Amino acid sequence: MPYSDLTDRVLLNPKHLDKKTAELAVIAATSALSGEHCLAVHLAQAMKYGASKDEIVEAMMIGAFMSMTVSQSVSLRKLKELG
């Protein structure tokens, strides 16, 4: 499946999520991945679909929290390997 078809199917026309919820999911994931350029696009899209700033901040915090827990688990595991 070409990338543009996947983008259309997953982001532009989600089947089971409304567009606002899909954009908030993208914001959470992009926040976790520090995707500055993607955030610029999807923040505007989320607001276009009715997301409030509070909803956007909450999505960002969810993504940031998930990123933090992953980095902590990797870091602590590596420290434990040292003995």
List CB contacts of 28: < 8 A, sequence separation 6 or more.
59, 60, 62, 63, 66
Domain CATH for 30: 1.20.1290.10
**Total Cβ atoms within 10 A of residue 31:** 23
**Which tops the pLDDT comparison, 73 or 4?**
73
- How many domains does the structure of the chain reveal? 1
Asked if residue 15 has pLDDT above 90, the reply is no
Phi, psi of 13 (to 5 degrees): -140, 65
Q: How confident is the model at residue 33 (pLDDT cuts 50, 70, 90)?
A: very high
Q: Residue 50 sits in which domain range?
A: 3-81
Give 40-81 pLDDT, tens digit per residue: 999 999 999 999 999 999 999 999 999 888 888 889 999 999
